[in-house]
Amino acid sequence: MVAFERRAPGHRLGVSVSKEHGRAVRRNKLKRILREAFRLERPELPGRYDVILIPRKSDDHLQLETVRNELRQLLQKVASGKGRKRGRPRGRPRKGQR
């Protein structure tokens, strides 16, 4: 998971499932599970974040309850400041900062 704090209220979700998870049917099912877990947990999630979910490759099938628990734990970790911090990528400056 990658999370960016946002100024506007609420959360937004992005999902990225690579081809190493299998064919399109399997990848789409993973996306549906991830979106549903986010939808169900959204009212209880702390802070205001843009969240990008990138599942790791695993042989077992993802269960909705497992994904919900992991999502809740990860966002609580980010909100408490214990998540791994990454600075803004180096390179071209943003518009207006040139």
Instruction: Kindly give the interhelix angle for 24-41 and 64-79, rounded to the nearest 10 degrees.
Output: 60
Give the pLDDT confidence score for residue 94 in this predicted structure. 63
| pLDDT tens-digit series, residues 15-42 | 999 999 999 999 999 999 999 999 999 9
- Domain 2-79 classified CATH 3.40.50.720? no
The confidence score (pLDDT) of residue 64 equals: 92
Helices (H), 22-85: 24-41, 64-79
- Looking at every residue in the chain, the average pLDDT score rounds to 85
6: exposed, middle or buried (C-beta count within 10 Å: 0-12, 13-18, 19+)?
Answer: middle
Q: What is the pTM of this model?
A: 0.78
